Amino acid sequence: MKKFSSKIVAALFVLIVLVSCQQGNPKILIIGDSTSLGYTPFVKEDLKEVADVFHNPGNAQHTGTGLENIEAWIGDEKWDIIQFNWGLWDLCYRHPDSKEQGKRDKINGTITFSIDEYRNNLDSIVKLIKKKSDAKLVFVTSTYVPENEAGRYQEDVIRYNQAAIEVMKNNGVEINDIFEKSVSVHKRHGRDTNDVHYSKEGYDEIGKQISNFLKKEIE
């Protein structure tokens, strides 16, 4: 049933893409977690005159989810740019008894994917994308983790970003490193000191970092 549902979602996504695209505009697919879901509407608005922007159905979560769904998300559509990101879910510790949202618990929990697993998963995902599509690829680094976040260590996001950058360089993938910018944005517009998410204003600012980079890629 789960596989059947995924196929239906993928088919509906392709239909939306076909109906929505303006003839002649570059087509951009954004793949990522809730952070990307937060900034994608602002990116769509910023690029509405020059590109058609879509996000994969739902939350891309961690690289394990990516490996399972990346080919369906790409489909048979001819994308000009595929932007993707994983990391914050991969480095998250979870415990079944945790009362925190998402069962996050960096003290007693188990990490979703080790840094080596994350590196290998990303490498496999890039190779799958390249087999499926001729699109220009852009990887976006993970954003800031506040110190009091329940399931994530602040220093891990730096380590995982470094691992991801190595993978992307080895595979010739463009890198939009937004981490440093996200630190200052979070301190002004983060939801809380224990939350990796942003207010509307924060997502708007992060979205501009994405839009400006994509505009250069389009040109």
pTM: 0.89
What is the average per-residue pLDDT within 5-22? 53
Q: Between 163 and 20, whose confidence is greater?
A: 163
What is the average per-residue pLDDT within 171-177? 98
Q: How many CB atoms lie within 10 A of CB 101?
A: 9
**If you count DSSP H runs as helices and E runs as strands, how many of each does the chain have, helices first?**
7, 9
- List pLDDT tens digits, range 64-116: 999 999 999 999 999 999 999 999 999 999 999 999 999 999 999 999 999 99
Q: Between 10 and 173, whose confidence is greater?
A: 173
Confidence check: pLDDT of 201 > 90: yes
Rounded Cα distance between 163 and 183, Å, is 19
Question: What's the confidence (pLDDT) of residue 135?
Answer: 98
Question: What's the confidence (pLDDT) of residue 18?
Answer: 52
- List pLDDT tens digits, range 112-159: 999 999 999 999 999 999 999 999 999 999 999 999 999 999 999 999
Question: What's the confidence (pLDDT) of residue 126?
Answer: 98
- List pLDDT tens digits, range 37-73: 999 999 999 999 999 999 999 999 999 999 999 999 9
Confidence check: pLDDT of 1 > 60: no
What size, in residues, is the chain?
A: 219
**Which CATH topology does 2-218 take?**
Rossmann fold (3.40.50)
219 pLDDT band, cuts 50/70/90, is: confident
Residue 36's contacts (CB-CB under 8 Å, 6 or more residues apart) are: 30, 55, 60, 85, 140
